Amino acid sequence: MAGPVELIETKRRVAMVIAKSVPDKPGIAGELFSQLGKAGFNIEMISESSVSGGSAEISFALNESQVKEAVAHLESLDVLKRSEFVIEKGRGILTVYGKNLAHEPGIAGKIFSILAQEAINIDMISTSFTAISVLIKDSYLTPARNLLSRELGLDA
């Protein structure tokens, strides 16, 4: 019987933007990502965390060639005037696919543990019923893909 992982893909030249001191209230994420979408920016991954004092941090990933223009667009929005934007380039997305991933207890932990054994730090995580994606340093994409392929039985 085949394992739950069917395919591993990578995407290079991705940047992460960390929007700090974003107002922590309903509608802010909708406004931020609607404005980016209207301006033609395709967001690959999103992560949000609440911070004390009525503010939050929202991190997102997009094509590295668009990052400066996207941040400039966000800085022009009144709702984000007090926000700070940190750009981290040199990232890539590694995605593990499998139609039965959602039915495999512990698969996310296994993937993350395999990466950790090689000191590969994860900047962001996105999951669905059929995919687990991680944002990592671009230089780790090929070694991570090879390692996961071997450890998850795709090399057989």
**Contact between residue 98 and residue 56 where contact means Cβ atoms under 8 Å apart:** no
SS3 assignment, position 84: strand
Would the pTM count as exceeding 0.95? no
CA distance 137 to 92: 6
Burial 19-51 (b: 16+ CB within 10 A, else e): bebbebeeebbeebeebbeeeebeebbebeeee
Taking only the tens place, the pLDDT of each residue in 101-125 is 989 999 999 999 999 999 999 999 9
Domains of the chain: 7-12+91-151 (3.30.70.260), 16-89 (3.30.70.260)
CA-derived radius of gyration, the chain: 17
